[in-house]
Every structure is written in C-alpha cells, then in structure tokens.
Amino acid sequence: MLMRLLLLVALAVAAAAAAAAETEQRATYIVHMAKSAMPAEYADHGEWYGASLRSVSTGRAAAAKMLYSYDTVLHGFSARLTEQEASDMAGMDGVLAVNPETRYELHTTRTPEFLGLAGSEGLFPQSGTGGDVVVGVLDTGVWPESKSYDDAGLGEVPSSWKGTCMAGTDFNSSACNRKLIGARFFNRGYEAAMGPMDTSRESRSPRDDDGHGTHTSSTAAGAAVADADLFGFASGTARGMAPKARVAVYKVCWLGGCFSSDILAGMDAAVADGCGVLSLSLGGGSADYARDSVAIGAFAAMEQNVLVSCSAGNAGPGSATLSNVAPWITTVGAGTLDRDFPAYVQLGNGKNYTGVSLYAGKAPPSTPTPLIYAGNASNSTSGNLCMPGTLSPEKVQGKIVVCDRGISARVQKGFVVRDAGGAGMVLANTAANGQELVADAHLLPAAGVGEKEGTAIKSYIASESKPTATIVVAGTQVDVRPSPLVAAFSSRGPNMITPEILKPDIIGPGVNILAAWTGKAGPTGLAADTRRVNFNIISGTSMSCPHVSGLAALLRSAHPEWSPAAVRSALMTTAYSTYTGGAGSPILDAATGAAATPFDYGAGHVDPTRAVEPGLVYDLGTSDYVDFLCALKYTPNMIAALARSKSYGCAANKTYAVANLNYPSFSVAYSTANGEAGDSGATTVTHTRTLTNVGAAGTYKVDASVSMSGVTVDVKPAKLEFTAAGEKKSYTVTFTAAKSQPSGTAGFGRLVWSDGKHTVASPIAITWT
C-alpha cells in the first residue's frame, strides 16, 4: 500500500514538473552554428539545424519552433526556446553561441544643395555603368506609388541582382520597377514575440504603414521629384543622395518594434540579393559585438564587400549614449541644415520670440489671445507636460497653452491642448533639449521655442495678471547661419564598448528633412491625424543615416574597386569640423551653443564633393577586424560567431592591440585606475596606421595637435611620398601624457596629412577613465 502511494506521489510530481515545463515561457533565441562541424549523416545544414532543434525539445508536448534559417550573414537559425532548451542547445557540439533576441527601435528638399551636390553630376557615374549600386534599406517598408520610386531614365535591372518583389497584403509583385527593384518582409520574430499582428493597422507585406521606411529609402536613393513640399513648406525638387542608384527594401520593423531575428533575416536576404550598401536607421543600445545582432550581420556583410551604415541613436545630448558602435559599421550622427521654418511668439508686453512650426491650418488669430502655462491649468504633477487627460478644459478654453517638451510626443501635446479647448500651443524646450528646435506639422496653431525663450515666456506669464500672446507662422527660410549644428538629440560618445574606437564616425543632415511619405498615415504619425501627404518633414539620426548611405552608394559607383572601409575613410577624412569662411570657428552643439567635439560629430560633417577624391584612404579587411577581436581577448567561439568560421584565430606568438586597427580616427583612453602617469612618470600610447594612395603621386606632410595640456603627439615619419596609385605607407603616432588627470578629463585634436591639394584629416580624442 505504501509503495503504491509513493508511486502515485512520484507520478503526480513528474506530471506537475512536465506541466510546468510545458508552460515555461518561450522566447526567441539566435543560435550560431559552426558550419564546418556538421556531422556527415546530414545532407545539408538545414537538416542539421532542424535535428539539433528537435533534440532539445524531445518529450515536450510543444516542440521548439524554428523561425528562420540563416545562410549568408550568419550560419544558424532563430527559434522559440525555453531557458532550459536554450541552455541545452548551448552545450551541443557545433553550437558557437545562443543569444537571446533583442528588440530594436527606429531612430526617428534642400539637402543636395547644402551638401554641394547640385550641379555635381559629372563627379559621379550615372546608372548603367559598372558601378550600378543597390541600396538595401531595412526599415518599415515602402510606399511604392510615391514618385520618388519613378524609374524613368534608368536602364535594365543589373543582371547580378538576385532579389525579388514579395507579394502580400495590398502589395503586388508588379509594385517593383527599375528603381525599386526588390521588396521583402520579415515578421516571424515580431509575431512570435508579440502575437498575431492586427491587420487592420499594419500590412503583412512590404507596404509601409508607418512612413519611416519610405522616408529613409527615398532620402538615400529617391528619384528627383519636382514641386515637392509639405503644406507649402520646403518647396522645391526632392531627390535622394544617389538618385540613379537602385533601391531594395526589407521590412523588418513593425508597430511593436524591430526584432533581431527579423533584422538578421533581412540582412541575410539583402546581402544574398546583391545589395552594395545596407542602411539601418534603428538601434537597441550598445552590446558586446558577439551578442549584437546588427554587428554580427554587418560583419558578414563587410566580408562580402557590402558597406553597412547605421544611425547613432537619438539619446543625446547625454554622453556615452551611442548605438551601433562596431568598427565595421559606419555610425552616423545628425546635424542641422541651413533651412528653417520660423514662427514667432509675440507677447502682450511687446517682446517677440522666435521658434519653429510647420502648422498649415486655419490662420491663428492676429489679435492677442489669453496665454496660460500648462502647469497652472492642471491638477496633475505632470500637467506642465500636457500629457493626455491632465489639462482642465475650463482653464485652457480659448487660450494659448505653454507646454514643456518631454516624455510624450511633441505633436501629441498639441492634440491634448486642442481636445481640452485650447486655441494654440507654445512648446517650450527644457534643459534636456536646450536651444535645438525641431519643426512639427501641428494640428493647431503652435510654435516650438528654445529653453531660453520658453523660460522668458513662462516668466512673463508669472508676472502678468492677464498675459496674452500671438503666434505667427512665417514659412520657409534658407541660408540660415551658422549651419550645420550638431543636433541635440544626436547620440554622443565616448564609445562604452571599445573606448579606443572613436564613435560616431560622422554626422549628416538629420533635422527637418523633407522626403517621401506613406499614404497610410498623416504627417504626425498619430491615429487622430487624418491628413495625407506625399512628402513629410521629420528629424532624427534615422534621417542622417540614409544620407550617408546614399553618399556611400555614390562613392561606390565612382570607385567600384574600393572596399567598404575605403569608402568610409573617404567620407571621414574629407569631413569638416569647422565652418567654412571667416575664421573657421568650430561646429557648434545645438544643445549648448558651445563648440562641439569629436564625441559629438566624429570626423565632422560629411562633404561628398571632396570625398570622391580623398587622395589617401585607411583601408581595412576581415583579417584586420579579426586581429581587433583578438586584441579584445575574444574566445575562438566568439570570433567564429562573428566571422562564421573557425578558420580565423588568434596566434599565441603575436601581440594584438586595438590601437593598431587601421581606423581613420584616434581615440586614446588613459586609465587612472592603474596609477598610470602621475608619480610613475610619463605614459605613452602608440597607434600604427597605414595609408593607401588612391590618387596621383604626391608627397604628404603631417600636422598634428591636441588641446590637452601635458599631452604631446609625435608622428613618425612626418612625410610620406607616394609614387603610384595603390601604394601603401605606414606611420606611427605616439601620445605621451606627462601626468595623470582626473577621471572624465577629455581633450581633442586633429591629425592632418596634406599634399597641398588633398587634406586627409583624422579627429583625435583623449580621455582619462
């Protein structure tokens, strides 16, 4: 009897354990496999992957489900696994790594003129040459009916193209043409994590329901469209950076975000399809390269001669806020244009304050209107932010409401004011945004103002018993100076993953950018906005990234023999960090009004007309990046997960140093933790670089300086003579610190090689940590 009772108890415990195991939550994991380790009994890698997956879920009522099999940017697959299954998988032979999925977020015309591209068509080959380049954009999809994808004047699709135009909801394969030559969508990771999509809100197809993807792809390589504007603002001809390049879109971002299993599937397809440039305006913070899906995919793309350009992030102006910092990725921050959309706030005391607005509705009253601060019109502690439901209608009815910027979307605050009966809105920056102004297509009369102006307006309200104001929207203004400024939202260095690699690499136009838009959403992107437009003006490093992606396509068409690293080098070493003309004062930071630094802009603002003939480049290849990983003490499995092969390794008899990576910039990170410098004497750090001549024969001389007291720079040799194209010359740079500095101390400088015609410049950043 006792034995029977114990048996029943054991069976009950086992059943409970099995039930608990089956209800254990599954999540998506990326499984990296060693291709060469496939057992001989399997006919192909897909069969091996499936068998490996089944082996960890045998005996379970619900077997682990595979989402994607990857063949190009990594060897392996993604699957829905429990923690136990993931742990079991990681211990299997042939498995290099099992990484949990990451959720990424989007980093959300006059630009050709501002960049000096107008009338410069002769510098770059046209479509139909051997340099015909395809720009692959991984984003929210495409609105193919936009005129930005008109293929007039383009030749046949390159014979090397292997892509396709996937049909789906409201999207036929006939939507593609000789401009938009490919369109795919990837949603398995999204739906596995978030559940079935709401097809009334988003399309299970490449169609763009959001607008972001259409904006970025048309910015990179959209055709020229005359008479483009947003409600009359920024009117003119809109064109992408590489208007003769081809476009392929890979929809990997959805309403719930961008999931790494889908992103990797998109990158896998884009590289296999034949894209020469990949543009990703998304990010998920910084992670070790072996666990960063975008970095992993970008490494394989680089190996196959594909340049990958990514947005730096919109987490500025705080320091160390960058995304996408792998050295084989071109990391792009954002700057302003020389175009603005001024609006004026005229107070009852006669004071006028300048802001910005894209409001185009019924003209606001020309007579003074009562003015109130949102913090005084709410019982909520967050009433000053004009959050939904926080304003008292009886207090704001018929008045202009001053709302503080932050937390909720800028345009949403206007909806809150309008719904409460307000007549208009002044959106006031706080210290987080400083004097940076981003224009919005508000649905009520509104103007955004800087922190100083906002403080003055709120002081006026506090000092007057019956404050009033008038809002005047003034249209489009060009030739604004100084420009560019580093956008306040643009994420900043230093690079917290590898401080010895300076990031961002470069900045490009990212504020108030006009480009094509979806027909499914209004210009604000909010559900309540029923307006529909062909073009929209938005801001973010999401906008600066496709500018650089398109410029990279131009350089690849002009120099098809250049590697991705050579293209990036050309863009970086010809960038500018001071304003042209006058005394050459440094580029300013919109957040502070003070001089910006290489932690803000990297090498500087892109200058494509100079980049096409850089003179010299810093080149890099796969073996150089593997040496870099060896310097970081990566294990063989970590390197194999990135390089997709165990043939790469770190030699025991070789010394590796991050400072020897042939990067077009210099970052010196001294440490105070080890007692360096100070009483122990001077500390030196030596960097080695190699320059490749891509121009005519010439003699280059160097000039190097830093702004940090007690640090000297010595370059040897100080002169390099090149007699032929393709010739390589190496040099060393020794940075010597005479004494220790407090942690957080930073100094900057510049190293410039010049032959009198070409200027090959590299930024220098020196920090104490």
pTM across the whole model: 0.91
One-character DSSP codes across 608-677:
HHHHTS-SEE----HHHHHHHHHHTT--HHHHHHHHS-TT----TT----GGGS--SSEEEEE-TTTT-S
Q: Which of 153, 198, 151 is nearest to 177 (CA)?
A: 151
For the segment 176-213, what is each residue's pLDDT rounded down to a tens digit?
A: 999 999 999 999 999 999 999 999 999 999 999 999 99
Active centre residues (catalytic)? 139, 212, 542
Does 532 score more than 70 pLDDT? yes
**Percent of the chain topping pLDDT 70:** 92
The dihedral of CA 670, 674, 679, 684: what is its sign? Answer: negative
Q: Percent helix, strand and coil across the chain, each rounded to 5?
A: 25, 30, 45
For the segment 358-409, what is each residue's pLDDT rounded down to a tens digit?
A: 999 888 888 899 999 999 999 898 899 999 999 999 999 999 999 999 888 8
Helices (H) and strands (E) in the chain, counts: 17, 39
pLDDT greater at residue 177 or residue 285? 177
CA distance 377 to 394: 9
List Cβ neighbours of 327 (8 Å cut-off, separation of 6 or more). Answer: 498, 501, 620, 625, 628, 661, 663
Phi, psi of 126 (to 5 degrees): -95, 170
Give yes or no for a contact between 475 and 233, defined as CB atoms under 8 angstroms apart.
yes
For the segment 607-622, what is each residue's pLDDT rounded down to a tens digit?
A: 999 999 999 999 999 9
Q: What does the CA dihedral 350, 351, 355, 356 come to, rounded to 10 degrees?
A: 10
